[in-house]
Structure 1
Amino acid sequence: MSHWIFTEEHEQFRQSVRKFVEKEMIPHIEKWEKDGGVPRKLFERMGDLGYLGIKFPEKYGGAESDLMMEAVFTEELTKCGSGGAAAAIGAHTGIAMTTIWRFGNEQQKVKYLKPGIEGKKIAALGITEPDAGSDVSSITTRAVDKGEYYLLNGSKAFITNGVYADYVIVAAKTDDSPGHRNTSLFIVESDWEGFSVGKKLDKLGWRASDTGELYFENVRVPKENLIGKLNEGFKYIMINFQWERLTLALNSIALAEKALEDTVRYGKERIQFGGPLTQFQVLRHKMVDMAVDIEKARHITYRAIYRYDKGDDVSTEATMAKAYATEMVNRVCDQALQIHGGNGYMMEFPVQRYWRDARLLSIGGGTTQIMNEILTKKLQITST
């Protein structure tokens, strides 16, 4: 459905991306799912088309458009039907390169942001560790000042694009002080001595994105690769979380729409008891409930994006959008699979992939339980 935050220009762009997805992505999804990643040429192709630089400044090769344009791209990309393929691109543009754009210096933007926009270098963000997920303050990777460089040691887990990335934004402890002013962000190139990739992780869903374990053993990081100010990394991560959570909400809305579209079509085509499934009121009403659930998530999310684009602090609204939309997509995809019946459980029907891909959305970027705990503080429900 159309929405007032989108202009005619946004909708024209939507049609352009939709044609690209239908022609150059959907025919290859099954192969990418089996390969466990999207090819590098997809990044290059999207770079040529300007899709990787929508919100970034023109001086680095971007289009300098608003965040509504980026939202359109995120939604249409997700409708390729593979959460993994969408995640690979989204991790590159939405969370890794965005960090350099917002907090990096001019030299870093020229060296890393520009080729990332062109699709010539793939980026990843390395925050999560085996024992530190949403609790960023618990990370153990350390960067020790050695005068001319920082010496980096530690590991990261569940890193999207981690296997094939050319550079990774790494969060590391740089101070022993308590609280949050002890973490910094660094740009680490994957071909540096001491950087290694562990096993490529075998996942339930998002199978078209490569996800890896990263190891840093006495990696020498030049001083100029520190992003922003020393010990300000936690603040940068928290600022970026607003857009990351809104992106995951958009992924959820688009994936749920895709699941509903497939289900409505299947309901009209599948014959049971002498007629299509849509002859049964109970199934028609299930589909209506799915549509209403999607609309609730859409309006919560779009309002937050509109305000975020205006420069407002939407930490509460973004958290609400993430919490509601990611649980919504699980409900919708579960109902979609149920309506497909036995066929929904078969691998040749894509609804099983939507169901698997949806499951991560309420986990990644902070679980629903973490979102709810944040909201108890934002809404002053907690007693502390």
Structure 2
Amino acid sequence: MLETHKSTSAVKTTFTVEEVAQHNKPGDLWIIIDAKVYDVSKFVNLHPGGAGVLLAKNVAGKDATEAFFGLHRHEVLLKPQYARLQIGTVHGQEEIIKPLAPGQPSPVPYAEPAWLNPGFHSPYYNDKHRDFQRAVRKFFEEVVYPDAVRHEEDGKRISQEVVDKLCEMNIPAMRIGPGKHLKGRTLMGGIITPEEFDHFHELIINFEVGRLGTRGYVDGLLAGEVIGLPPVLNFGSPELQAKVVPEVLSGKKFICLAISEAFAGSDVGGLQTYAERDGDEWVITGTKKWITNGTFADYFTVACRSDHGTPPDTQNGYVVILVPRQDAISTKSIKTAYSSTAGTSYVTFDGARAPVANTLGKVGNGMQVVLSNFNHERWMIVCTSLSAQRRIVEECLKWTTQRVAFGKPLHAQPVVRARLANMIARVEAGQNWLEFVTYQMNNMSYQEQSDKIAGTIGLLKQYITRTGRETAEDATLLFGGRGITASGMGKLIENYHRTSPYDAILGGSEDVLGDLGVRQAIKKMPKDIRL
């Protein structure tokens, strides 16, 4: 023993490598991991991988750093039950592998959008955006991520405590985008004003949501509000807005968008849920399926037929109504590849009633309300999907650096580098296209966006979701068996591979949106142009 020093929790001791080597047998077993000495004498029989791993000749009494990081994520060492096994440090050595400070961007190449890297420049972001990103990242790491991990596993909805903190920062309000609903609000503790807030700030929030790596919780993080409240803001009466918007944006009530049906998914014109007038009320009958946050929603923004025509009059026969939860509405959780924390549900309206005053827009113009909402929803899906894909690229760059196979790091293999090259190219191309579209959104009205970039957003979503599945396949192959294991080294890969197909379906299926983009381009083809 050379010296002792006090920490905030215990007396720590400094040892030489030779001293550690003397403790190499059952009942007296120490190991070194990244310059720290751990006494695993009592833990050895509790080791999930068996005692033999710790008693191996290259581990017992030795520096087991390489062996540890070949099997475990760094976060394991930070868990209290394992951190308390540390008894000291190695004399003359310094810890190399340290967790990033809260809010700190990753130093791994391509782990972050280029504008976050030191020395890089962007025409889209300024220092205010950078300050905002750091604050949002820190908030999500400290407040949201622990809740996300817990509920991705147990399937319960987002904790009300987290909802309250999100609303205190006005993050749900900001996820709806710039607009009158932000007036008078303090955003992220005052880092920016409502007048300064733009779609790039919103993109930043969506990126931090997407990089959580808990895909079911990403939708459970009040995604229903992001798509269900805008029709109220844009088409509801002032009286309806005055009641509903404060309830929802304060986290006291939850809302969802109820459009999709078993009879009509991407075919919005095929809806069969029917609304009929009965005096000053609507009576709604029908079913909705795959409704995000439906299991815990208090309000349902429902698209209905309002005519008796067969086939339905898609131009004049639709209406959108805000329907409050009641006994005539039942919701049933749908078991999917996602965690049930997303609140994905089957909703039955069995003569549910809503005041005629809850009509959003004009009767007969329901399709306009529905379609006007799609651009922002699809753009939001692109943001979170691309962020999740970039997180996978980061995981793969880390893994191929630390994983040793055939005596060399994985990235020594040309085929591995080729896969990494394709993954990087996909996210960088997607990032640049997304930022271009976001810039247009900042400089166009809602109506201009529908006319000029609805097709572009559809094509962008198709590109991001297709490349996401390609990246999921590449990542799974790079991680091998760990890539199909729901815990441990490849847990984010497994989660992403299992859930990335969702992005191709949500907000309009991939093929439908690709076709939309081409049809809109054909509409704008000049009539006087020939080869």
The normalised TM-score by structure 1 is 0.94
Paired position in structure 2 for 1:326? 465
Paired position in structure 1 for 2:60? none
Paired position in structure 1 for 2:301? 169
Distance 1:207 1:353 in 2: 14
Amino acid at match of 1:174: S
Paired position in structure 1 for 2:504? 362
Distance 2:324 2:460 in 1: 34
Paired position in structure 2 for 1:240? 373
Task: Determine if contact 1:60/1:110 at 8 Å carries over to the other structure.
Answer: no
Query: Aligned pair in 2 of structure 1 residues 58, 25: CA closer, same or farther (>3 Å)?
Result: closer
The answer to whether structure 1 residue 273 and structure 2 residue 406 are counterparts is yes
Paired position in structure 1 for 2:160? 40
3-state SS, counterpart of residue 295 of structure 2: coil
Amino acid at match of 2:499: D
Distance 1:156 1:281 in 2: 49
3-state SS, counterpart of residue 153 of structure 1: strand
Which segment drifts farther, 203-212 or 150-159?
203-212
**2:140 corresponds to which of 21, 27, 39:** 21
Paired position in structure 1 for 2:24? none
Paired position in structure 2 for 1:200? 333
Paired position in structure 2 for 1:115? 247
Which segment drifts farther, 349-358 or 255-264?
349-358
Paired position in structure 2 for 1:80? 212
Deviations 1:145-178 (A, max 9, x none): 1121111111110000000011110111112462
- How high is the sequence identity, in percent, across the aligned residues? 23
3-state SS, counterpart of residue 350 of structure 1: helix
Paired position in structure 1 for 2:432? 299
Which structure would you say has the larger RCO, counting Cα contacts within 8 Å and 6 or more residues apart? 1
Amino acid at match of 2:328: G
Distance 2:429 2:182 in 1: 35
Residue 306 (structure 1) shift: 1.5
Amino acid at match of 2:494: Q
Residue 30 (structure 1) shift: 3.4
Amino acid at match of 2:350: E
Distance 1:75 1:117 in 2: 20
**2:342 corresponds to which of 177, 184, 209:** 209
Distance 1:58 1:244 in 2: 19
Distance 2:336 2:364 in 1: 33
Query: Aligned pair in 2 of structure 1 residues 236, 309: CA closer, same or farther (>3 Å)?
Result: farther
Residue 35 (structure 1) shift: 2.5
Amino acid at match of 2:202: E
Task: Determine if contact 1:183/1:234 at 8 Å carries over to the other structure.
Answer: yes
Residue 24 (structure 1) shift: 2.1
**2:476 corresponds to which of 325, 330, 337:** 337
Deviations 1:12-46 (A, max 9, x none): 11111111221223233332123223223322221
Unaligned runs of 5+ residues in structure 1 are none
Amino acid at match of 1:361: D
Paired position in structure 2 for 1:130? 262
Residue 340 (structure 1) shift: 0.6
The answer to whether structure 1 residue 103 and structure 2 residue 235 are counterparts is yes
Residue 110 (structure 1) shift: 1.7
The answer to whether structure 1 residue 156 and structure 2 residue 288 are counterparts is yes
Residue 5 (structure 1) shift: 1.9
Query: Aligned pair in 2 of structure 1 residues 326, 90: CA closer, same or farther (>3 Å)?
Result: farther
Residue 49 (structure 1) shift: 1.4
Query: Aligned pair in 2 of structure 1 residues 195, 239: CA closer, same or farther (>3 Å)?
Result: same
Amino acid at match of 2:314: G
Distance 1:124 1:140 in 2: 19
Residue 265 (structure 1) shift: 0.9
Amino acid at match of 2:315: H
Task: Determine if contact 1:245/1:318 at 8 Å carries over to the other structure.
Answer: yes
Deviations 1:192-224 (A, max 9, x none): 231111x31111135431111111111121111
3-state SS, counterpart of residue 216 of structure 1: strand
Deviations 1:264-298 (A, max 9, x none): 11111111122221222221231121111111111
**1:58 corresponds to which of 166, 175, 182:** 182
Task: Determine if contact 1:128/1:156 at 8 Å carries over to the other structure.
Answer: yes
Amino acid at match of 2:319: S
Task: Determine if contact 2:274/2:305 at 8 Å carries over to the other structure.
Answer: yes
Query: Aligned pair in 2 of structure 1 residues 208, 196: CA closer, same or farther (>3 Å)?
Result: closer
**1:255 corresponds to which of 388, 392, 400:** 388
Task: Determine if contact 1:62/1:117 at 8 Å carries over to the other structure.
Answer: no
The normalised TM-score by structure 2 is 0.69
Distance 1:322 1:124 in 2: 22
Paired position in structure 2 for 1:375? 517
Residue 59 (structure 1) shift: 4.4
Distance 1:29 1:207 in 2: 12
Paired position in structure 1 for 2:318? 183
3-state SS, counterpart of residue 272 of structure 2: coil
Distance 1:305 1:188 in 2: 32
Query: Aligned pair in 2 of structure 1 residues 121, 137: CA closer, same or farther (>3 Å)?
Result: same
Unaligned runs of 5+ residues in structure 2 are 1-113, 116-121, 188-193, 525-531
Residue 335 (structure 1) shift: 0.9
Query: Aligned pair in 2 of structure 1 residues 344, 195: CA closer, same or farther (>3 Å)?
Result: same
3-state SS, counterpart of residue 185 of structure 1: strand
Higher helix share: 1
